[in-house]
Amino acid sequence: MVTNKTEKLKDIINKEDKDLMEMVRYISNPLIGLRSKSKFKVFTLETSRGKTIGTAYAIAKAIKCGSSTKYVFTTHTLEECSRVTEMINQEVGENIAMYYNPSQKGKEKSEASSENFYDCAEKQVLIVTHKTYLNISNPKNDKHERYQSCVKGKFDFLIVDEEINAVVNTLCFYDDYTYKKILKIIKFVDDSEILDLFDKLCEQPKKTIKFYEIKENLKNKIIVAEEVEMNDVFTDLEYSRLIELISSIDNEVINDYSVDNKTDITKNEIIEEIEKINILYKNMSVNRVLYWNGTLYSCNFDFEFLMLDNNVMLDASANFNTLYTIGKMFDVVKSERIIDHSKCYLHWHKRNTSKSAKKKSSNNNQLTDWRKFIVDDIKKKARKDSRVLIITYKAEGDALNKRFLDNEFKKYFKEYNFLNFLNMRGVDKYAKYEECFIVHTHRFAFPVYVLMYMYYKKLDNAYGINMTYGKYRGNNTIGFKDPMLDSLLLSDEISAIYQACKRICRTKKPIGNFHIYNNNLEVIKQIQKELLNVKVLPDAENERMKHVDDFYFLISKIREGTYNDYKIVDGKTGRKKKAVTRGKKDYYEVTKKLFYEVLGIDNTHFARDIVSKINVAELGIKFKNDVVIVNF
């Protein structure tokens, strides 16, 4: 939600919104006590409902009422940090909030921000990015250790705006490409000691991958990677020495490498890569590394969220995301969806848009063909002179922008822009756009979901987890055989698409079009549920598929007795009669007219789109003249 700089928050906040005001009361209560010290209280108000503005208002309200509570607020971007700082200071009438900007140019701090962390920490409200929060939660140097001590010693209340996923943010993976990428840099630096130590660090993961690559029947299988016997162990002392040597490399050498190789890498990024390999190396001995298709996966299981006396997280997706139900870290406050999307349309285009599906074809130009198709399809489906937001993964967004969008496309729309799934959360600068095209199905590598389950469930290792995946859902889409893992994967996919939709039309009365390219009806149904009253417009073939799915659902409801009192008008007598009657044995006789009315179709479409598509034996039904026999 975008605010007018001259407006007071108290005048624009929706005080009739019960869920929002519950959140405001929780945050602003000066007598809150120690209500959530060991977990996050998660508020799930839908996007555009005013979570961030409500939080800024709650903090300002508490301070104006004399509260001495000191708040830490963390959000995705520096731009959002600046906005929240401005809102709080304007509402209070003085500069009680400041955001930390380590990249700020010049030594002079502004009234709203500073490159000096301690200047910001002197204020009653300290505002930082997620990146800074993660560094303070998991200090890697003395500076961040001191920052953590400062926050723990001075502040009482933590507010995290949007999800922070501990596994995604500490993910460690190793493959042949990772090794060669770092090796190339080290060879350029030309230091034999660094090279020897790096090779020793990588010896275990390299041999482990080679060991599994020659084993049969492991393609597309996730397994616990066991240690390969080694003659020599890489020690903590050697790791410290390796980091010390890399830290001492002349920055000009790294700059020269970047120029010569047309890349952009920093010394800190090299150190981060080596830190991740070291974490993975250590996790090998405790069975916390997974092997999948030539790559090793793990994460920092020692990572702990920095928590204060009270901790709040704001995430609309927590209303349905399975991640929040694993373990005991979150106390989720469910909220009702109230924003009316009745003037919006959800256009469902049934296509498998995973990375592998886009590449999978005997045609070597499949990926090129897909990108040409999607550009043409956007031209065809979006209104001319509208503002269009395209959401996909970063590499595809860059490729579309550089190689596939010609001058005609640029002239066709009033504006167009790109976001990728990993940088879109919290972005509201496209709030007035009318068209959104989600042309990719966001999904992490399958082992990442196993690691999420392990981390949040606090499991010591991956043994005992059924990590099998394939087409187990019955709708030709790929998921895990284990219901919990599959729910984790599916809800993450839905969360990404929901958040993508909500980058546009960010008003109380949205008007716009959401185009989703996805092949899973369950995903579309959940998005429809989250976007209250949105109209779904599937492609023609999807309309028939939806009728079949609705028919299956209706049969289950008939078996439950939901329609026992449903009445229809008898065509002969004109009188109302029951549509469902109990047979002599264990079955119901259901008049077909019930299906026509409830499903909103006629006899022709019923025969073409349902009768011809379903397996009656599997469903336990029979068609007989004008009735459907439904077995109990």
Residue 515 lies in a domain: yes
Residue 472 lies in a domain: no
* Same domain, residue pair 530 and 566: no
Identify any residues that bridge with 627 across adjacent strands, giving them in sequence order. 591, 624
CB 346 within 8 Å of CB 516:
yes
Residue 466 lies in a domain: no
466 CB-near residues (< 8 Å, 6+ apart): 480, 481, 482, 485
Of the ranges 14-18, 219-223, 353-357, 460-464, which one carries the lowest mean pLDDT score?
353-357
Q: Using the 8-state DSSP alphabet, how is residue 302 labeled?
A: T
Give the whole-angstrom CA distance, residue 526 versus residue 189: 52
Of the ranges 50-54, 104-108, 236-240, 250-254, which one carries the lowest mean pLDDT score?
104-108
User: Helix or strand or coil: residue 202?
Assistant: helix
User: Helix or strand or coil: residue 309?
Assistant: coil
* Same domain, residue pair 222 and 259: yes
Q: Where are the beta strands (DSSP E) in 177-328?
A: 223-224, 290-292, 295-299, 310-314
Give the whole-angstrom CA distance, residue 89 versus residue 86: 5
In this structure, the number of other CB atoms found within 10 A of the CB of residue 33 comes to: 9
Give the whole-angstrom CA distance, residue 550 versus residue 536: 14
* Same domain, residue pair 356 and 291: no
What is the CATH number for 209?
A: 1.10.275
pTM score > 0.75 for this model? yes
Give the pLDDT confidence score for residue 473 in this predicted structure.
85
For residue 433, give its domain range.
344-460+487-538
The H or E element containing residue 277 is helix 267-284
**Distances from the Cα of 215 to the Cα of 175, 178, 223, 232, 420, angstroms:** 17, 22, 12, 25, 37
pLDDT tens digits for 506-517?
988 999 999 999
* Same domain, residue pair 532 and 596: no
* Same domain, residue pair 616 and 505: no
**Distances from the Cα of 252 to the Cα of 244, 256, 259, angstroms:** 17, 6, 10
* Same domain, residue pair 144 and 288: no
Residue 476 lies in a domain: no
Report angle CA 175, 446, 300 to the nearest 5 degrees.
65
Give the tokens for residue 36: 């959530």
Residue 59 or residue 352, greater confidence: 59
* Same domain, residue pair 371 and 317: no
Q: Of 538, 566, 600, which one is at a domain's C-terminal end?
A: 538
pLDDT tens digits for 218-229?
999 999 999 888
Of the ranges 127-131, 337-341, 537-541, 555-559, which one carries the lowest mean pLDDT score?
537-541
Give the pLDDT confidence score for residue 172 in this predicted structure.
97
Average pLDDT over residues 188-208: 95
Give the tokens for residue 497: 């698409």
Give the whole-angstrom CA distance, residue 354 versus residue 444: 10
Q: Which of 463, 493, 464 is nearest to 478 (CA)?
A: 493
* Same domain, residue pair 21 and 135: yes
CB 173 within 8 Å of CB 448:
no
pLDDT at 295 over 50: yes
Q: Of 478, 504, 538, which one is at a domain's C-terminal end?
A: 538
* Same domain, residue pair 311 and 247: no
Residue 197 lies in a domain: yes
pLDDT at 362 over 50: no
**Distances from the Cα of 413 to the Cα of 292, 380, 392, 438, angstroms:** 43, 12, 19, 17
Residue 338 lies in a domain: no
CB 253 within 8 Å of CB 189:
yes
Torsion of CA 430, 41, 336, 338, to 10 degrees: -30
User: How many residues does this entry show for the chain?
Assistant: 632
* Same domain, residue pair 509 and 615: no
pLDDT at 590 over 50: yes
Q: Using the 8-state DSSP alphabet, how is residue 400 labeled?
A: I
CB 498 within 8 Å of CB 489:
no
Q: Of 538, 561, 580, which one is at a domain's C-terminal end?
A: 538
* Same domain, residue pair 120 and 139: yes
* Same domain, residue pair 623 and 530: no
Q: Return phi, psi of residue 451, to 5°.
A: -65, -40
Residue 206 lies in a domain: yes
**DSSP codes, 27-63:** HH-TT--SSSTTSEEEE-PPTTSSHHHHHHHHHHHHH
Give the tokens for residue 2: 């975008």
Percent of the chain with pLDDT over 90: 69
Residue 228 lies in a domain: yes
Q: How many domains is the chain partitioned into structurally?
A: 4
Where would I find the H helices in 338-482? 355-359, 366-381, 394-399, 407-412, 446-457
What is the CATH number for 530?
A: 3.40.50.300
